[in-house]
Amino acid sequence: MAKWGEGDPRWIVEERADATNVNNWHWTERDVSSWSSEHLRKLLLSVRVEGPEGVCQVTDINKLDGEASINNRKGKLFFFYEWQLRANWLGTASSGVKYRGTVDVSNLSDENDEDDLDISVSLCKDQPSTPLLDLMKRAGIKEVRRALGEYVRQLKSEFSQGMILPTTDGPKQPPPETAKKNQVKTNKTQISATTKCTSSPSPKSSPSPAPCPTGVHIPTCSFNLRETFQTSADELYRTFINQEFVQVFTRSVAVVDGRRGGKFQLLDGSVSGEFTQLVPDQRIEMRWRFKTWPSEHYATVSLELQDRGDETELKMECHGVPAGEEDSTREGWTRFYFQAIKQTFGY
């Protein structure tokens, strides 16, 4: 996933000159698909079994579809991978006759343990029956399973090095001055947006320290976004208010009560709010906040859905965002909601 509010020190890993992570709890991602593809090929091509029947050896990989990534959130690593593969094997019987076959794996993913992998072996259609097939089923599958397990172990133990960087002050977060200094606004996205700054009060103060003072009038901004999804309005509506859907596209545990007055919390509690109005398949209104905003300060967000046959146009209006937060909030909605939904569900 992309980084919410690129340049905002609360959302991504910021490195100082000494290569330290200033907070060590932000979200960052490393794409390891290319490394995984190369490593899986290398491990599978090393698979070789021998028995009284003869010798079998994996010779090439003719299908390797999928992706893999490593994510760091709040100093914890999360591994996401999903692969489907097919390999060819060549067997030489004790008599010297050669046979060809295939190995298929359909569910190599972070959701399955090594013992749960579905691995099947077979002979090519033009090949006669041979005891070598039994050898592959008996010993070959075990070796393939071992190789795939080794891929996962090396992914977690070796390739994750450097994903969690040391902090300069232990678990403590930087003081407000540091956070402000590190905050860098990024180029605006290609999505059409308008911004309007006003001044509004934060509802009430909090006795605990906060990044911004509460109980005072703070300048706020508004912006609009427009996006098109290749799905129906009812499907898109359900994607925003259904807990299971939200957990899938955010890749994290979420609490979503999809009713008027229902509350939601996602992205490890970084985002929370309440649904204030729900018009099925047409409109969603909510009170929405990011946890570092002034205590109890919420923006108002409305999502209007217009069904256009084979696609749905979404119009978003967001009001009451603290000034200085509009870029990261707009970027966050674009990446963590809209782009994430499209990439996850193919909308």
What is the pLDDT averaged over residues 162-191?
39
- Can you give the CATH number for the domain in which 275 is found? 3.30.530.20
Cα distances (angstroms) measured from residue 9 to each of 101, 223, 248, 331: 53, 22, 25, 14
Cα distances (angstroms) measured from residue 172 to each of 22, 57, 92, 153, 166: 9, 54, 62, 31, 12
Select from 117, 141, 160 the last residue of a domain: 160
- Per the domain annotation, does 211 fall within a domain? no
Paired strand residues for 109: 82
Q: Higher confidence at residue 153 or residue 199?
A: 153
Residue 9 has pLDDT above 90, yes or no: no
- Asked if 229 and 154 sit in the same domain, the reply is no
- Asked if 156 and 254 sit in the same domain, the reply is no
The Cα 275–Cα 286 span in angstroms is 4
- Asked if 152 and 245 sit in the same domain, the reply is no
pLDDT digits (tens, 9 = 90+) for 249-263: 888 888 999 999 999
Structure confidence at residue 162 (pLDDT):
52
Structure confidence at residue 319 (pLDDT):
94
Residue 8: count other Cβ atoms within 10 Å of its Cβ: 26
The single-letter DSSP state of residue 127 is: P
Q: Higher confidence at residue 135 or residue 204?
A: 135
- Under the banding of pLDDT at 50, 70 and 90, the label for residue 216 is low
Domain residue limits at 109: 28-160
pLDDT digits (tens, 9 = 90+) for 275-284: 999 999 999 9
Structure confidence at residue 174 (pLDDT):
41
Residue 64: count other Cβ atoms within 10 Å of its Cβ: 18
The number of distinct structural domains making up the chain is 2
- Under the banding of pLDDT at 50, 70 and 90, the label for residue 73 is low
Structure confidence at residue 101 (pLDDT):
95
Select from 114, 137, 160 the last residue of a domain: 160
Structure confidence at residue 263 (pLDDT):
95
Select from 115, 142, 160 the last residue of a domain: 160
Q: Higher confidence at residue 330 or residue 203?
A: 330
Q: Please calculate the CA angle 66-68-73 and round it to the nearest 5 degrees.
A: 150
- Asked if 56 and 149 sit in the same domain, the reply is yes
The sign of the CA dihedral 150, 153, 158, 162 is positive
Among 95, 347, 102, which residue's Cα sits nearest to residue 229? Answer: 347
Q: Where are the beta strands (DSSP E) in 94-216?
A: 98-109, 119-123, 195-201
Q: Higher confidence at residue 18 or residue 126?
A: 126
Q: What is the pTM of this model?
A: 0.44
Average pLDDT, the chain: 79
- Under the banding of pLDDT at 50, 70 and 90, the label for residue 268 is confident
